[in-house]
């Protein structure tokens, strides 16, 4: 059966692409290819999600952008150590049945959700009722939630 099986990419309009790429390289350790982007092999952990949110959601706050990026990480504590060293403000981590999460804003004001999946994935993704199953619920009061 022909079907969508994952997220194929995130494409973003950015005024200063060099500064944006440099931020992702410095803060999150992303290595960009010569053509200006980066491609990731499908990880052995996690899964991709495409999920609509209600137009009045505050889950992307404080970003004013109409979208958020979720990046799978293999070691959230290690990535957050790098983020801390870079002087970037972040919130989290928070743990729930879907793994460990933290949030930050990139230099374009886009909210980035870092996700370390649990060792064993749930058998089925739950039904979304207020956005995405990656939305763990009410705000914890941190600046990015």
Residue 58, in any domain of the structure: yes
pLDDT, mean of residues 81-93: 93
CATH number of the domain residue 83 falls in: 3.10.180.10
Task: Provide the residue range defining the domain that includes 105.
Answer: 54-121
- The 3-state DSSP class for residue 61 equals coil
- pLDDT category at 121 given cuts 50, 70, 90 is low
pTM: 0.72
pLDDT, mean of residues 7-27: 87
The interaxial angle of helices 76-86 and 17-28, nearest 10 deg, is 120
Q: How many CB atoms lie within 10 A of CB 54?
A: 9
Residue 100 pairs with which residues in a beta bridge? 95, 116
Residue 65, in any domain of the structure: yes
Determine the pLDDT at residue 139: 38
The number of distinct structural domains making up the chain is 1
DSSP state letter for 119? S
Residue 97, in any domain of the structure: yes
């Amino acid at each position: 059966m022909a079907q969508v099986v994952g997220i194929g990419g995130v494409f973003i309009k950015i005024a200063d692409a060099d500064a944006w790429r440099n931020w992702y390289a410095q803060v999150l350790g992303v290595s960009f290819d010569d053509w200006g982007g980066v491609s990731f092999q499908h990880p052995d952990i996690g899964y991709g999600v495409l999920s609509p949110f209600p137009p009045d959601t505050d889950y992307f706050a404080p970003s004013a952008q109409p979208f958020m990026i979720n990046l799978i990480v293999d070691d959230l504590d290690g990535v957050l150590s790098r983020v801390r060293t870079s002087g970037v403000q972040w919130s989290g981590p928070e743990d729930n049945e879907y793994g460990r999460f933290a949030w930050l804003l990139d230099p374009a004001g886009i909210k980035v959700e870092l996700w370390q999946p649990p060792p064993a994935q749930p058998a089925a993704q739950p039904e979304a009722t207020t956005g995405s199953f990656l939305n763990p619920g009410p705000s914890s009061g941190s600046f990015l939630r």
